[in-house]
Structure 1
């Protein structure tokens, strides 16, 4: 009887251990999280195509307002938007600048589905700076920059998005604007400072007098300097002030697509750029995707406003990260 009792106790002990293991297994599996891979909705952004659009702009030369290169490049941009199925509108206006020069600005606007009420605004500046005032060589500071990153990269990215919009329709209206006269602010080497607002004149003009009366968009995205290798897109100050929810939408989309190494969860400074007047005039709560740096004295990449801003700086990976993220955002809109 004693041996039988011991055997029975042994059976109960084994069963208890197995039950404990089983319960512990159930307990741990309860907290197992299975992450599904994100399924991209937008068509693939072709970085080679965007790169070629950047290269083409530089082939005209520096796109300084009032030059033949500026005129020729503007004609090219308007023609490409038309080719890609957009309804193209141009704004032209004469501006008296800080130095007394009379300049003609030219904003180029391509609209997709202009009849749709819900609209997304995408924009970049297409002019180039007539000075290289960040050059250490004073003799070269008066020469215009090539503007591969500062200007052409954002425009090239938007042209590739326009090409996709023609082939793959979206469910909302989209307006693409290439703003002029963004980059002719007074140079730092001037000794007589002229009071006034001399940056971002094209976007300011459009914000005050949009191409469509009482124009409003659900939100806007500015692309400025998005083409350099190892770009770091920080959360710019005015973007956080005027459109924090759009900033979160774009940054979370970038992370889902695997571009979190470009779109960093880090705050940047306040940048006077084309999105500022768009926000101030309440045309669209807008953010700025811009390459900001914490280890340079300017807060921008080292080639900013120098003659090093050429095609050597343009990286397909950065163009892809910015372009695919923006496309995914607009293609998920209903």
Structure 2
């Protein structure tokens, strides 16, 4: 009988064993897949806040760095020599620009390139000049300010970044530009500020220059600095802003890098976004969201305003962003 025949049992069992045998034979015949090499661990250098502080102090020691002054020329020469000592290819972009009051300013943008042969690049910037007036002070308003925070702090951070780049090369190329003639402006003349970055944005040091993104530093050294998500940065470079803020907060710097937004301001990043079309964010101290730090454009913007902790938070964030790029 078919229903109870042993033949029926064998008939149903044979395809199962045959299938298993085929699977085993096929598996044995496959070439072993090579193991993927593990990705190298990202080693991020440790930012030395004491070193950055010393760089700020050295700038202040030159006196006010107002274009056309002796202190400005001496500091500019020192900045170029320092970048060269750390292995950068250094060049100066020089021109004469006209200030809002008609003064002809001898401008010098300082450009330091690390691994200039690499195509994938990040641009880091800050202004190195200081304000020729203390218009927010109650006295001596026509005298220049020390500019420890507004001028010195961003440069101090970037010099320490440059020192680290010279010791350990990241996977991407890095350019550092120090803007000149940023602070020789008037609130009554909107485009009278940021003359160096305006000039470069129309005439970059390399024709067609286009990094992946840029980060501008301004007033990044004061005690208890308060960095908000600035409006122009959010509008034109939100993904960069998200990357930098996420990195900072993952490092434990959330009390400096705040999550709320502030209105857009005119700063060097404005022209980098609107004219050069480079997605650029501005890390700038905005206590309460829409003011500047308490000693802004006064004679009290001296070395006593500078906090190593703040410099360290900004610098370590920058190094982490740069060295995590692949």
TM-score (norm 2): 0.86
Moved more, 94-103 or 112-121: 94-103
1:304 aligns with 2:306: no
Question: 1:25 matched to which residue of 2?
Answer: none
Moved more, 109-118 or 66-75: 109-118
1:180 aligns with 2:199: no
Question: 2:34 matched to which residue of 1?
Answer: none
Which residue of 88, 92, 97 corresponds with 1:95?
97
Deviation at 1:282, TM superposition (A): 3.6
Q: Deviations over 1:163-220 (max 9, x none)?
A: 000001101010000000000002x6xxxx5x56210000010010000011001000
Question: 1:235 matched to which residue of 2?
Answer: 229
Does the CA contact (< 8 Å) of 1:151 and 1:225 recur in 2? Answer: yes
Mapped to 2, the partners of 1:40 and 1:313 lie a distance apart of 34
Does the CA contact (< 8 Å) of 1:217 and 1:283 recur in 2? Answer: no
Question: 2:207 matched to which residue of 1?
Answer: 213
Question: 2:8 matched to which residue of 1?
Answer: none
Question: 1:328 matched to which residue of 2?
Answer: 320
- How many pairs were matched up? 286
Mapped to 2, the partners of 1:222 and 1:136 lie a distance apart of 30
TM-score (norm 1): 0.83
Does the CA contact (< 8 Å) of 1:254 and 1:325 recur in 2? Answer: yes
Long gaps (5+) in structure 2:
1-40
Mapped to 1, the partners of 2:158 and 2:272 lie a distance apart of 18
Deviation at 1:41, TM superposition (A): 3.6
Moved more, 40-49 or 167-176: 40-49
Question: 1:85 matched to which residue of 2?
Answer: 87
Deviation at 1:40, TM superposition (A): 7.6
Long gaps (5+) in structure 1:
1-38
Assess, with a 3 A threshold, how the Cα gap between structure 1 residues 166 and 283 changes in structure 2: closer, same or farther: farther
Mapped to 1, the partners of 2:177 and 2:237 lie a distance apart of 19
Mapped to 1, the partners of 2:190 and 2:42 lie a distance apart of 45
Question: 2:269 matched to which residue of 1?
Answer: 275
Question: 2:13 matched to which residue of 1?
Answer: none
Deviation at 1:283, TM superposition (A): 4.4
Mapped to 2, the partners of 1:103 and 1:112 lie a distance apart of 29
